[in-house]
């Protein structure tokens, strides 16, 4: 994938598109249940809320939200006390909500593939850069804060 397109939201949208394609072209494999749309929207809304709160925490600390850029601050407050990657976790929740909304259980493997792609393409490099900048402070935080949840 060209660098210009290699952004986490692109991977989220690609995953959502795959789920949509499965629902669209294999409708006999979809399921419907009471409250499905509401649960799906609720999960997507929760993901967007988490994403917003985490981004606000980064902005409050005057550090970058852009992957592959050097951080100006180590953010360990707010949602970052619970997860080292709340924005990526939020992406995962949005994807989960989308799959529920569509009722396409065949897309559930995306919920395993998506975080693996994000870890390999983004998190590994981000954590290396943060460790380079903040050393032991990052290591201490990483020991007590899980990568996802």
- State pLDDT tens for residues 10-53: 999 999 999 999 999 999 999 999 999 999 999 999 999 999 99
SS3 letters for the chain? CCHHHCCHHHHHHHHHHHHHHHHHHCHHHCCCCCCHHHHHHHHHHHHHHHHHHHHHHHHHCCCCCCCCCCCCCCCCCHHHHCECCHHHHHHHHHHHHHHHHHCCHHHCCHHHHHHHHHHHHHHHHHHHHHHHHHCHHHHHHHHHCECCC
pLDDT of res. 1: 58
Each residue of 101-116: pLDDT tens digit? 999 999 999 999 999 9
Token look-up 């609720």 returns 42
How far is Cα 68 from Cα 62, in angstroms, rounded to an integer?
Answer: 16
Mean per-residue pLDDT for 53-82?
93
Kindly list the domain boundaries of the chain, sorted by start residue.
36-116+130-149
C-alpha separations of 22 from 17, 18, 26, 32 in Å: 9, 6, 5, 15
Judged against a pLDDT cut of 90, whether residue 61 lies above it is answered with yes
How far is Cα 134 from Cα 149, in angstroms, rounded to an integer?
Answer: 22
Token look-up 């924005």 returns 87
How far is Cα 100 from Cα 33, in angstroms, rounded to an integer?
Answer: 10
């Amino acid at each position: 994938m060209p660098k210009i397109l290699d952004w986490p939201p692109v991977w989220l949208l690609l995953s959502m598109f795959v789920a949509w394609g499965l629902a669209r072209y294999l409708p006999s494999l979809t399921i419907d249940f009471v409250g499905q749309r509401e649960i799906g929207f609720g999960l997507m809304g929760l993901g967007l809320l988490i994403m917003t709160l985490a981004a606000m925490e980064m902005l409050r600390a005057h550090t970058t939200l852009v992957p592959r850029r050097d951080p100006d601050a180590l953010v360990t407050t707010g949602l970052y006390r619970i997860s080292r990657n709340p924005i990526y976790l939020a992406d995962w929740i949005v994807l989960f909500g989308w799959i529920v909304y569509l009722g396409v259980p065949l897309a559930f493997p995306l919920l395993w593939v998506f975080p693996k792609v994000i870890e390999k393409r983004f998190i590994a490099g981000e954590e290396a850069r943060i460790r380079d900048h903040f050393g032991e402070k990052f290591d201490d935080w990483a020991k007590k804060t899980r990568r996802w949840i």
